[in-house]
Structure 1
């Protein structure tokens, strides 16, 4: 049997393979391809992208209300010392955002929450509930970020327990009758916020 004929490698390929610069070029092209592929799979705003959730300790937490449930009533004190109650908000949709000042996902999301509040005005009552945190922790956080929607410290986790919150950020969207129409866990994109709010403003 005749010996197999060796196929000569093109000169340009041999030169690249044998040079350090060529090796670096191949590595760079490969890395770029991986990055582009990753972006296509997990690009910003993709529904499949992972959401950031931080676990919180809420002793005796009840079962979280689900879509169709009447939202648990509450009365709490905001940063100005005013009383805020769910009964007093009847007739207006409410967006409850359970969060924490130390929560990375909450910090990333809160500018979009503030932006929605500024854009929507009084159409939806936006309320942030700070799980396990007193007013002394919440006030400087809200001041630093210029948050103008309602801020409720929940140092004793009373409100968080009533809503069964186990991780933050957690979102409950209530219609004008106080019925839960949407729940979400994790950081929401502006598009996801609009989609959820649409369910309580129809």
Structure 2
């Protein structure tokens, strides 16, 4: 009899975890929509947008770690690797040297911009982010998603998450997990 009770308690706990996760996820999406409606510092521009292959990537405006304002639509005419990351994420740490190598060796010739959006609301403070960028000597733009709205819009639940966006601003691929330079090269070629 006690084994049945323990089993039921464990089952109830697992169901509660699933329900809490689902409610939290819905709340995050609601918060992102409310931030957009309330005019947060992230501006989303109305277009025919979505996250499926071939759809226009949702536009946004963020401020980089260096204080520069970047708007995704300003890069139309160039290919964009839109990456979401945080300093505490081991796969992000593994990916960044590859991203920097790709940036240094191939990005300019391939007409590619890298926007590595830091999920600032999920990170451990500005100093940690600055130290991370310095450690890996990152030379590409680091937009700061300090409200969490862009990461939510792009469904960056598991990180790193990257979107490959073509010269017309349309999503061509989504990669969940770390990429290496050859993988980036291949994905960029597929956008041609």
Report the TM-score, using the length of structure 1 for normalisation.
Answer: 0.66
Alignment of 1:126-145 (within 5 A): 126-131=114-119, 132=121, 133=123, 135-145=126-136
Matched, 1:100 2:86: yes
C-alpha displacement of 1:148: 0.3
C-alpha displacement of 1:104: 0.3
Once residues 169 and 66 of structure 1 are traced to their aligned partners in structure 2, the CA distance between those partners, rounded to angstroms, is: 18
1:166 aligned residue (157, 161, 171): 157
User: Partner of 1:150: helix, strand, or coil?
Assistant: coil
C-alpha displacement of 1:86: 1.0
* CA displacement, residues 23-53 of structure 1 (integer Å, 9 cap, x when unaligned): xxxxxxxxxxxxxxxxxxxxxxxxxxxxxxx
Once residues 189 and 126 of structure 2 are traced to their aligned partners in structure 1, the CA distance between those partners, rounded to angstroms, is: 31
Alignment of 1:24-173 (within 5 A): 59-60=28-29, 65-122=51-108, 123-131=111-119, 132=121, 133=123, 135-173=126-164
User: Partner of 1:127: helix, strand, or coil?
Assistant: strand
User: Partner of 2:175: helix, strand, or coil?
Assistant: strand
Once residues 181 and 118 of structure 1 are traced to their aligned partners in structure 2, the CA distance between those partners, rounded to angstroms, is: 23
* CA displacement, residues 109-129 of structure 1 (integer Å, 9 cap, x when unaligned): 110000000012432000111
C-alpha displacement of 1:66: 1.8
* CA displacement, residues 149-181 of structure 1 (integer Å, 9 cap, x when unaligned): 011121221110111111101010000111001
C-alpha displacement of 1:189: 3.0
Report the TM-score, using the length of structure 2 for normalisation.
Answer: 0.69
Pair member with larger Rg: 1
Kindly report structure 1 stretches of 4+ aligned residues shifted beyond 3 Å: 133-137
Is 2:53–2:172's contact at 8 Å kept on the other side of the alignment? yes
User: Partner of 1:147: helix, strand, or coil?
Assistant: coil
The structure with the largest helix share of the pair is 2
C-alpha displacement of 1:191: 2.5
Once residues 135 and 149 of structure 1 are traced to their aligned partners in structure 2, the CA distance between those partners, rounded to angstroms, is: 17
Is 2:101–2:181's contact at 8 Å kept on the other side of the alignment? no
C-alpha displacement of 1:87: 1.6
